[in-house]
Amino acid sequence: MTTMNPAVEKVLNNLEGKTMKLLIGSKWVEAQSGRSFETRNPATGELLCRVAEGDAADVDAAVAAARQTFEGPWRNFKPNQRQNLLLKLADLVEANYDELCVLDTLDMGVPMRRTLGNRHRVVSTIRYYASQAMSIHGETIENSLDGEFFTCALKEPVGVVGAIIPWNSPLYQTLKKIAVCVAAGCTMVLKPAEEAPLTPLRLAELCLEAGFPPGVLNVVPGFGSTAGARLAAHPDVDKVAFTGSHFTGQKIIQASAGNVKRLSVELGGKSPNIIFADADLEKAVPGAAMAVFNNAGQICCAGTRMYVERSIYDEFVARVAEFGKRMRVGNGLDPETEMGPLVSANQLERVTGYLKRGQEEGATAASGGSRLTDGEYAKGFFVAPTVFTNVTDNMTIAREEIFGPVISAIVFDEIDDVVKRANDTIFGLGSGIWTTDVSKAHKIARRIRAGTVWVNAYNVLDPAVPFGGYKMSGYGREGGIHHVDEFLQTKALILNTD
């Protein structure tokens, strides 16, 4: 196995023969069921370790711990104390960053060159939310009441939060949820994805090392149908923050009705990426390719519907296909790897099913179009970077979220037509526009029904900028003050001063 740095050997030695436990209160405990599940390297199929399988009883215990802390000592923590905890966590994440990147790579396959390159963004995200802990404020309100009254609006933490995260970016997704929760003064029960629980568990260790009081963060690995379902429906959870598929999101929305939980749900996408003939092709070609091939297409806002103006369609598609053919696909531990495997056998089956369906419906693979099985690929879940041509808007590959490295290249002629077609989807998470005409970009951006519109860039994220979806891509926002507000309640205070 290729080793990029000493962190690889250290992590593998730490995992070997172990069964990872749950974190409830400040203690690492076994699952009450006594069950555990395997987690394997998707590049090689090798067993990494076993993980305790939490279920409803463990979620109940974790929620009780979170509630006790929220109603007890945590309520007395001042904003600067919460800020200091996050700043300590940021320092620890930075000091252990290589190890965290190795865990992400081993558990879900992402190339280390990608996560190592995100060091600044990840660490600065924690520090951004540390600053927000000191920025929460209400407002005084002039009133028209008879008599002497003082009126104001206060901001208070929503309470116990159930956080359910996906497997496609464990490090970043976990830290975002933890950081905003602490900044707002909430406590949390975190349910990692069963496909990639190792990074969240290591981050929980760092949170304890940073001095998080017992019960502020609790981690219960397990399956969605048991641990996740109980967390979503739990009567003592005040809010659920979920990132994942729209199918699961719908179930969580239904489960939340029991106690009318606060919800923020960041769901899937089928994002349009529009390339005009006047675009700077030297930037647009790699930009459009990596809008999908980044993380093997396992990105919720991936620009998988690539609309290209007719006059440059053939040239542009050929160049994007060639870009995909030249990409180094392999084990994410190899520093030369540009695209790693899919996360699991189930995801491989899903993606290859769409590859077959696309060709059955008349699409042509200009590159890729199949699983990679030769040599080093034999035991892993690898799919070649794929560009489909001859795609129409009604094809399955142009309608449904594939969550793999698959681009549907679609031709367009007129602006009004491409805007209409771009919006003709149940989703509305991300979108892209490539043009050197700033006026045109502004006008089209206002008409696209999506939570984010990138112009001459794609998948560029900043912790101060809100991110979220329209339509079936969910509601609520992550990033910026909008994210913090999702974890706060507003209380009116009306005080008779006469």
The DSSP-derived string for 293-306 is: HGGGG--TT---EE
Relative orientation angle of helices 119-133 and 97-108, to the nearest 10 degrees = 110
CA dihedral 144, 145, 149, 152 (to 10 degrees): -50
* Residue 300 annotated as catalytic: yes
**Quick check: 43 and 330 in contact, CB under 8 A?**
yes
Q: What is the distance between the alpha carbons of residues 304 and 271, in angstroms, rounded to a whole number?
A: 6
DSSP type of residue 312: G
| CB-based contacts of 15, cutoff 8 Å, min separation 6 | 48, 49, 106, 198
345 close to 381: Cβ distance less than 8 angstroms: yes
Strand order in the sheet with 364-367: 364-367, 386-389, 406-412, 305-309, 272-275, 432-434, 454-455
Q: 127 with 245: CB under 8 angstroms?
A: no
Length of the chain in terms of residues written: 498
Closest-CA residue to 251 (of 235, 227, 228, 281): 228
Opening angle at CA 152, ends 147 and 154, nearest 5: 150
Query: Burial level of 494, CB count in 10 A (0-12/13-18/19+)?
Result: exposed
Could you give the 3-state DSSP secondary structure of residue 141? strand
Annotated catalytic, 266? yes
Q: Which of 279, 409, 437, 461 is nearest to 445 (CA)?
A: 437
Taking the C-alpha atoms of residue 59 and residue 218, their distance in angstroms, rounded to an integer, is 9
Q: Are strands 160-164 and 239-243 parallel, antiparallel or unpaired?
A: parallel
Catalytic-labelled residue, pool 266, 338, 401, 478: 266
Catalytic residue among 186, 207, 300, 301: 300
By annotation, the residues acting in catalysis are 266, 300
